[in-house]
Amino acid sequence: MRDLLLLSVVAALLAVALRRPFVGVIAWAWFSIMAPHQIAYGVYDIPLNLVIAGVTLFAYVISGEAMKFRIDPVIAFIIALAGWLTIAQVFSLNPENSAPHTDRFLKTLLFVLVCAQMATSKLRLHALIWVLVGGIGFFAAKGALFTIVTLGEFRVQGLPDTIIEDNNHFAVATATVLPMMLYLRSQVSSKRIKFALSALLILSVLAIVGTHSRGGAVALALFGMVMWLRSRHKIALIAAGFAVLAPAIVFMPAKWGERMSTITSAAEDKSFMGRVDAWVINTKLGVAHPVTGAGMRNPYLFEVARTVDTERGLRARAAHSIYFEMLGGAGFIGLFLYLSLYAAGFFAAWGVFARREEPDMAPWKPELARAIQFSLLVFAVGGAAVSMEMWYGYLMLIACAGALSRITPKETTLPRYAPENALRPPPVRMTPLRSGA
């Protein structure tokens, strides 16, 4: 039954996408963020995401939207990074191991490129953000309920067989989406939807606590600090935060508190020092192969790691850092292009926010720009401790930032006779009567 329902929905979306290609982008985003085929049975092994991507790209070309391809810094660095990953794969130290990871990253960048090109209006941008918030929020709500039922005894995990399966990855992803929940709440007029988004925000915070992730805790702390700095009602915000977190922390087991306490004594924690070893290995591989690196995920292999560090190489493991993953996998040039893409998205949003006082600037644009900046800042900090450089979520926000910077004011301005002539009706054109009429 699940398989039939899912296939029916996908078929309907693709049929609409042939006329309106952006519907295909929404379906693509839905499968990328939530992987709904994993809750089915018979269609689990069917590459529905690939089918959706193919139909969307086909519709994108035949609709003529592809002829409006635009270049900006975000687009340029997406293309440059994809090109460099391809080159790095050619010079990979273990091509067979790095090939599937490089392929996955390239497919992610293709999706981001399409999002950046086709998110040409407020409606389209909001649609993408709703998919992101709804997708992560769904699993966060489940995780929060799991935490409450089990009293935090077990860790909340993300969606199996995805980038956010790991508890640390899921915690950082959820923290990254929190600012977007606040943004959507500010944009809706329905009190019920506002309440639902507020409840989802609280549940997401509980889910982060339930992951037992120290990286997630740091990202959540940064979110709270920035919220406090921006808020005009600082005492009320502290009280609200205390009301949410205090009960959650009280019922969490003792092992949760012991794990969180190691944040301040990281040098004595074996898990953290293991990550340091991985960072050292990736740095040494980056220095040994500064142009193209060792190949994506190759530093995980002990036979590759021990070529630069005999002792640490025997304990080769994930880098647990978006920055060291890129350095070890694609070299200093790959890291530079990756950081440049990140900076391009951040400053594209900053440019929109900086123009917030312009008379023809619609209020939603600088608000969205600030929310995207906020999310990217949270991910930049949380990502320092997780291997999530290929995650769709934050890359989609970078694409939205680039698209937002290209939306013209005409799309959101009031009629020309407003506001100074808002009380006057628009001019009426009179057609003179013909003689003899």
pLDDT digits (tens, 9 = 90+) for 65-121: 888 888 999 999 999 999 999 999 999 999 999 999 999 999 999 999 999 999 999
pLDDT-derived band at 273, boundaries 50, 70, 90: confident
Residue 297, pLDDT above cutoff 80: yes
Kindly give the residue spans of alpha helices, DSSP state H, lying in 35-187: 48-62, 73-90, 95-118, 122-150, 167-187
Torsion angle defined by CA atoms of residues 204, 208, 209 and 213, in that order, rounded to the nearest 10 degrees: 180
pLDDT value at residue 268: 57
Helix (H, G, I), strand (E, B) or coil at 316: coil
CA nearest to 75, candidates 291, 340, 327: 340
Which of 132-146, 251-265, 419-433 is predicted most confidently? 132-146
Give residue 42's pLDDT band: very low, low, confident or very high (50, 70, 90). Answer: low
**Tens-place pLDDT, residues 200-230:** 999 999 999 999 998 899 999 999 999 888 8
- How far is Cα 395 from Cα 111, in angstroms, rounded to an integer? 9
Closest CA to 222 of 273, 166, 263, 282: 263
- What CA–CA distance (Å, rounded) separates 161 from 111? 19
Picking from 182, 165, 261, the residue whose alpha carbon sits closest to that of residue 217 is: 261
> What pLDDT is stored for residue 435 in this prediction?
47
pLDDT at 422: 39
Is the confidence at residue 436, as pLDDT, over 80? no
Predicted confidence (pLDDT) at residue 411 exceeds the cutoff of 60: no
Which of 196, 168, 174 is CA-nearest to residue 33?
Answer: 174
Phi-psi region of 152 (alpha: psi -120 to 50; beta: other; left: phi over 0): left
Query: Residue 393 has which token pair?
Result: 């979520």
pLDDT recorded at residue 302: 86
**Two structure tokens written together for 66:** 């592809």
Report pTM: 0.88
The Cβ of residue 212 has, within 10 Å, a number of other Cβ atoms equal to 22
Report d(CA 6, CA 310) in Å as an integer: 50
> Is the separation of the CB atoms in 372 and 345 below 8 Å?
yes
d(CA 72, CA 117) in angstroms, rounded, equals: 10
pLDDT of residue 267: 55
> What is the model's pLDDT at position 66?
86
Tokens 């002539």 sit on residue: 421
Nearest to 20 by CA among 62, 49, 71, 51: 62
Rg over CA atoms, the chain: 24
User: Which residue type occupies 12?
Assistant: A
For residues 124 and 129, what is the distance between their CA atoms, to the nearest angstrom? 9
User: How would DSSP label each residue in 7-70?
Assistant: HHHHHHHHHHHTTSHHHHHHHHHHHHHH-GGGG-STTTTS-HHHHHHHHHHHHHHHTSGGGG--
Give the tokens for residue 21. Answer: 């290609």
Q: What is the pLDDT of residue 338?
A: 97
Report which of residues 383 and 422 the model is more confident about: 383
pLDDT band at 264 (very low <50, low <70, confident <90, very high): low
C-alpha to C-alpha distance for 289 and 25, rounded to whole angstroms: 37
Q: Within 13 A of 47's CA, how many CA atoms are on the CB side?
A: 5
**pLDDT band (50, 70, 90) for residue 293:** very high
Q: Where are the domains of the chain?
A: 1-68, 71-118+275-407, 122-268
Share of residues in the chain with pLDDT > 70 (%):
88
The pLDDT of residue 403 is above 90: yes
**Interhelix angle for 392-406 vs 73-90, to 10°?**
140
pLDDT at 416 over 80: no
Contacts of 100 (CB under 8 A, 6+ apart): none
| 172 has pLDDT over 70 | yes
d(CA 437, CA 431): 13
8 A C-beta contact, residue 330 and residue 292: yes
Average pLDDT, the chain: 87
Closest of 326, 288, 325 to residue 309, by C-alpha: 288
* Pairwise CA distance, residues 428 & 155, whole Å: 66
Tokens for 5? 């329902």
- pLDDT tens digit sequence for 233-257: 778 878 887 777 777 777 788 888 8
Span 146-171, average pLDDT: 90
